[in-house]
Amino acid sequence: MQQIADGNSNADDNDNSNSNSDNRDDNSPYWQAGWAASVQRPSVGFHENWALEGFAEQTVRQVVRVTGSGSAARIVLSNRYGAGPLEVAGATLARTGEGAGVREGTVRRLTFGGAAGVRIPAGGEVRSDAVEVAVAPFESLTVSLYFARPTGPATFHAQAYATAYRAPGDRLTATDPTVFGETTVSWYFLAAVELADGGPARRDTVVVFGDSITDGFGSTVDGNRRYADALAERLAEQGGVRPVLNQGIGGNLLLSDSAWFGERAVGRFRRDVLDRPGVRSVVVLVGLNDIGFSEVDLPTYKPDTDRSVAELIAGYRELIAGARAAGVRIVGGTIMPFKGAEYHTPGAEAKRQKVNDWMRTSGEFDAVADFAAALAEPGDPEALAARFDSGDHKHPGDEGYRVMAEAVDLAAL
C-alpha cells in the first residue's frame, strides 16, 4: 500500500495542482479537472447518508459526469476531515452502465505510486496514477473504492443529486449492479476526476461557486440538470466545449463556517476555485443564507449571525481580490427572490435588494449574472416565478436552472 507522508502530497509526481501555474519544465501531461465537488466534514445532513458511520469491508461506487475530455484520467481523493489516516484498499474507474452497472471490458484498476492501495493522512489528499481511457465531454464515469478496514467518519459532499451505491466486500470490478443493494445521494472521499489529452496547457475552465442553488438543490437526481450542467451544455452548443466545475455546497455561507454546510465561502475559495487546474473564470452565487439564517431559529441554521450589507460586500470584495490576484475573471450572481421561504422577512428582503443593487451598479465584478431578474415572478420581483419554483420558494427546479444558465453572458467567461 502506497504511504502518503503528509497532508498535501500526491501519489503522482507529474501533478500540476496549482491551477494557474501553467509553466512546465518537463514532458508530463497537462491535467485539467473534468469533474469536481467541494468536500465537507461528516454530518447527518438533510438526506440519509453514510458519512458519520463510514465504511468497513465495503465497496462504494460513485457516478460522475465529466464536462471535459481526454485520453487519460486520474482521480483525486480527500481525507480533509478525517480524524485519522484513511486506508483505501483498491480503486477502479469504468464507463458507466445502468445504475450501479458498468460497461463490460471498461473497468480499469487504479494505482497510487504503483501500489494498489493508498494510505492518506488526516487532512490529506492524493491523486491516483493515470490510466489510459478515452473520455468524451458529458460522459459518465464510475469510480469504485474498496475499504478493507474501518474508515471512520467520511469526508464527503452531502448533496450530490446523484446516486452512490454500497456493497459488502470487494466489488471493485463487479459489472452486475444488483450486488450494490444500498444507496444514498452523497459523494464520499471523491474530490475530482482529472483528465489529460496530450495537448498544451489551457486556461478555459469555468467554476460555479456558491450554496445550494449552485449545488443543484431541487434538481432531478441522476438527471444532471443543475445550472452548472446547463451552462456546460450551452457552452458546447455555442462551439466552446469547456470544463465547468460545480463547487457549490448546500447551505454554504459567505462569511461563517458551518458544521453542516461547510467552510465559509471566503475561506474555501482558493482551494475550491483558484487552485483547480486551468481555471479561467468563476461565477459566484452566495449570500442568501447569511441573510436568512438569522431570521429563524433552527438548529441546522447555526451560526446565525446577523450580517450587515456592509459585511456581505466586504466578503464579496475578498473573493474579487483573490480572483484578480490569480488572473481569474469573476462574475457576480445576484441573489434570487425567496418570498414565501422560511426565512423571508422585510429585513432580509431589504438586505437582498441592497446587495443586488451594489452588484449591478458598482462595477466591482468583471460582469454580473442577473439571476434575480431572470427568475423573478412577473409583477412580483420579491418572489421566485412559480414555473421555476422547486416547491420551497427559494430553489429552482430543472427549468429554473436552465434559465439561470441562460442568464450568464458567455462572453464574460
Residue 16: the pLDDT is 37
CATH of domain 2-194: 2.60.120
How far is residue 365's CA from residue 385's CA, in Å, rounded to a whole number? 26
Q: Which residues contact 70 (CB under 8 A, 6 or more apart)?
A: 32, 34, 134, 135, 195, 196, 197
Residue whose C-alpha is closest to residue 126's, from 263, 18, 15, 32: 15
Could you give phi then psi for residue 360, rounded to 5 degrees? -70, -30
DSSP secondary structure, 195-220, as one string: EE-S------EEEEEESHHHHTTTSP
How far is residue 365's CA from residue 333's CA, in Å, rounded to a whole number? 10
User: Could you state, in order of their start, the residue ranges of all structural domains in the chain?
Assistant: 2-194, 203-412
> Is the domain covering 203-412 a CATH 3.40.50.1110 domain?
yes
In the predicted model, residues of the chain with pLDDT beneath 50 are 5, 7-25
H/E element, 140: strand 140-147
Check: CB of residue 155 under 8 Å from CB of residue 55.
no
Residue 1: the pLDDT is 79
